[in-house]
Amino acid sequence: MNDQQTSGAEPFRLVVVSGGTSDPSSTRMLADRIANRIGARAEERGESVRTDVVDLRSLATEITTAIVSQLMGPKMTRAIELLGRADAVVASAPVYKAAPSGLFSSFFHVLDNDLLIAKPVVLAATAGTARHALVVDEQMRSLFAYLRTMTVPTSVFAASEDWNSRELGERIDRAAIEALLLMESGFAEQVRSESWNHYQHEFGSAGGTELEVDLSTDLMRLATGGSALPRQQRD
Amino acid sequence: MQFGIFSVSDITRDPVSGKTPSEAERIDAILKIAVKAEEVGLDAFAIGEHHNPPFFSSSPTTLLAHIAALTERLVLTTATTLITTNDPVRIAEEYAMLQHLSKGRMDLMLGRGNTAPVYPWFGQDIRQGLAIALENYNLLHRLWREDVVDWEGQFRTALQGFTSTPRPLDDVPPFVWHGSIRTPEIAEQAAFYGNGFFANHIFWPTSHSKRLIDFYRQRFEHYGHGTKKQAIVGVGGQAYIAKRSQDAVKEFRPYFDEAPVYGHGPTLEEFTKGTPLTVGSPQEVIDKTLTFHDAFGDYQRQMFLVDHAGMPLNMVLDQLELLGGEVVPVLRKELASRRDPESADAPTHAGRVAAKYGDGPARQPRPNANRGDNVTGASPYQDSDASAEYPGLG
């Protein structure tokens, strides 16, 4: 996917997922700051970044529909396409009650497990109080581990008092360079091309793109008239 | 190409009248629906199998045998027969019996069933569901093709010298469809045996069903049963029809909104846009159904869901009038004009008898004599390969 490295022409594709619900939203602002910083850092190094934004506010009814009926609406379908092609993701959630917002979590709950495998993800969250600071590392990081993403070491949390602090800018910068280096390394692409089959998949997963079928499994042997008994018990 | 209807056998409160039919009323209604399906010119009627309320269809072959007696042309089938929680030996026996009683006007569709509590009621475990389904079909396949079966597997008692009776009508096994929405192993099994593959095609967009159908076609060819185009594909669908589109939407909306499976979720408009459901005029149903052909190519059976979510009997019968009277005749004509001469005919008993015997006579197994111990020995039929062995005196 990342042939822009060699040609130098194609920008990196960054997708921002923001769970902010107001307009303007601090959750979105934090995500934008991270995305802009990734873009600026890339520019310094003679690269470019194209950013698409998935604002979950406008997907809210489609997300609940997907939860109760598995029906993916047109905006969800578009978001899945964007994420499937993304070289990296910035995932930014508001924290209301000691957890990332339900809207944010629900969006990731209805995605295929395989959609984001090995992709670099910057985790970010906003809250009204610093008491929520560990939500990013204790809750969001485990969600993205389940999705088998490559979360960057620095997570970015901003409570009300952080917005004007220099340290927040530094953390954003750290997260940005971590994400950029992971994109440059082609880590996700290489994992997905060399090791994709070592991850558990379902037919039609990864947004409908995962269509390879392993025909050498025990179940496939059973499907074609073979035995269900483990091999050592046969004969 | 065959057109038909498939029923889940749900007994659901009518959200408009507020009335829930009794089991007796709903069972009577399904008989009228099936008879009507034949009257309006449809080809097939399928019933589901469930073992818990609010469904009535625990015993599909009993129901279908009765409908067979009330009809003359209709093919009776299932959607689906549970290949997991039923003993494949009982499936072999019951459906062979149905095949005889209906004079071959039957086939069946196998499915796993996704209601976890049902499995332990029948001594099974849903976590093994797929393996059970695959192994049970391997046995079922042999029971209908071999007079005497020795068999050993993981999920049922071993069989020694077992003969499933009655033998299939004309010694031609009932045609089997394997139904699946996302399990490549099921499509692979259908392809391996040269059986049919059915995509439920109700809750997911056509593009979703196409993936597994394409895989099945490719594997059907791989196993040498014919070309991809000759693979045997069935597809579901769902429609509510009225002469005028706006009446269809108005009449169906309360049933849609309260439907047990998708009610209180997506809007009717979202669901019709994203799935095979059509709510509209006959022409709209025709147009949408033709898009299935655009996606899947020639296929052999189109089933519609028309009797669920508490719709009262008279409403369902009106639907059948419109489906059989205005939709299906146009679809038959249009699809016939599109049909590739290479593609397979819809499976029928007559066609399968002709394929097996040509113009010759069909085998009619006649049992050997009862030896006095209620068995006939290693050679149960007069034309079985080995001659019967009887215990000697010295």
Domains contained in chain B, number: 1
Cross-chain residue pair A65–B265, CB shorter than 8 Å: yes
- Are A99 and A119 found together in one domain? yes
Cross-chain residue pair B211–A227, CB shorter than 8 Å: no
- Are A35 and A83 found together in one domain? yes
Residue B381 lies in a domain: no
- pLDDT tens digits, B1-39: 999 999 999 999 999 999 999 999 999 999 999 999 999
- CB contact at 8 A, B358 and B346: no
- Are A155 and A217 found together in one domain? no
Strands B159-162 and B149-151: antiparallel
ipTM for this model:
0.89
Report pLDDT for B375. 79
Closest partner residue to B189 (CB to CB) among A204, A213, A223 is: A223
Report pLDDT for B371. 81
Alpha helices in A88-165 (DSSP H): 102-110, 135, 141-146
Which residues on A lie below 8 Å from B212 (Cβ)? 203-204
Nearest residue in chain A measured CA to CA from B214: A211
- Are A174 and A228 found together in one domain? no
State the average pLDDT over residues B167-195: 97
Which of B138, B219, B222, B275 would you mutate first to test chain A, the one with the most A CBs within 10 A?
Answer: B138
Closest partner residue to B131 (CB to CB) among A69, A73, A222 is: A222
Cross-chain residue pair B182–A202, CB shorter than 8 Å: yes
Report pLDDT for A200. 85
d(CA B255, CA B258): 5
CATH code for the domain in which residue A9 is found: 3.40.50.360
- pLDDT tens digits, B40-54: 999 999 999 999 999
CB of B35 less than 8 A from some CB of A:
no
Alpha helices in chain B (DSSP H): 23-39, 60-70, 88-101, 118-121, 129-143, 184-193, 206-222, 245-258, 268-274, 282-296, 313-322, 328-338, 349-357
Cross-chain residue pair B266–A204, CB shorter than 8 Å: no
CA distances from A130 to A29, A124, A162 (A): 18, 14, 9
Cross-chain residue pair A71–B203, CB shorter than 8 Å: yes
User: Amino acid identity, residue A61?
Assistant: T
Cross-chain residue pair B262–A213, CB shorter than 8 Å: no
**Residue A191, min C-alpha distance to chain B (Å):** 25
Cross-chain residue pair B270–A208, CB shorter than 8 Å: no
Residue B33 lies in a domain: yes
Instruction: Give the three-state DSSP class for B375.
Output: coil
Quote the DSSP letter at residue B383: T
CB of B133 less than 8 A from some CB of A:
no
CB of B357 less than 8 A from some CB of A:
no
Closest partner residue to B266 (CB to CB) among A69, A215, A220 is: A69
- Are A66 and A114 found together in one domain? yes
Nearest one of A202, A220, A215 to B131, comparing CA atoms: A220
Cross-chain residue pair A203–B212, CB shorter than 8 Å: yes
Closest partner residue to B262 (CB to CB) among A69, A72, A213 is: A69
Strands A12-18 and B81-82: unpaired
Burial status of residue B284 (CB atoms within 10 A of its CB: 0-12, 13-18, 19 or more): middle
Q: CB pairs below 8 Å between A and B: how many?
A: 81
**Residue B236, min C-alpha distance to chain A (Å):** 17
Residue B151 lies in a domain: yes
Cross-chain residue pair A71–B130, CB shorter than 8 Å: no
Nearest residue in chain A measured CA to CA from B260: A69
* Residue partners of A105: CB distance under 8 A and separation at least 6: A93, A99, A143
- Are A193 and A205 found together in one domain? no
Residue B226 lies in a domain: yes
CATH code for the domain in which residue B297 is found: 3.20.20.30
Residue B342 lies in a domain: yes
Which of B125, B141, B155, B185 would you mutate first to test chain A, the one with the most A CBs within 10 A?
Answer: B185
Lowest mean pLDDT among A50-59, B274-283, B317-326, B375-384: B375-384
Alpha helices in chain A (DSSP H): 4-7, 26-44, 60-69, 74-85, 102-110, 135, 141-146, 166-185, 187-195, 205-208, 218-223
d(CA A38, CA A121): 12
Report pLDDT for B393. 61
- Are A176 and A206 found together in one domain? no
Cross-chain residue pair A204–B182, CB shorter than 8 Å: yes
Instruction: Give the three-state DSSP class for B378.
Output: coil
Closest partner residue to A204 (CB to CB) among B154, B208, B273 is: B208
Examine the pLDDT at B98 and tell me if it is beyond 70.
yes
Strands B107-111 and B81-82: parallel
Cross-chain residue pair A71–B266, CB shorter than 8 Å: yes
Cross-chain residue pair B265–A227, CB shorter than 8 Å: no
Domains contained in chain A, number: 2
- pLDDT tens digits, B100-153: 999 999 999 999 998 999 999 999 999 999 999 999 999 999 999 999 999 999
Burial string for A161-176 (b: 16+ CB within 10 Å, else e) reads ebeeeeebeebbbbbb
In this prediction, the residues of chain A whose per-residue pLDDT falls under 50 are 1-7, 234-235
Nearest residue in chain B measured CA to CA from A61: B266
- pLDDT tens digits, A7-56: 456 999 999 999 999 888 999 999 999 999 999 999 999 999 999 999 99
- CB contact at 8 A, B84 and B124: yes
Residue B140 lies in a domain: yes
Instruction: Express as a percent the part of chain B with pLDDT over 90.
Output: 90
Domain that holds residue B74: 2-357
- CB contact at 8 A, B77 and B108: yes
Residue B304 lies in a domain: yes
State the average pLDDT over residues B285-308: 97
Quote the DSSP letter at residue B155: S
CB of B17 less than 8 A from some CB of A:
no
Residue B377 lies in a domain: no
CB of B211 less than 8 A from some CB of A:
yes
State the average pLDDT over residues B278-296: 97
Examine the pLDDT at B385 and tell me if it is beyond 80.
no
What is the enclosing helix (H) or strand (E) of B159?
strand B159-162
- Are A89 and A167 found together in one domain? yes
Domain that holds residue A233: 201-235
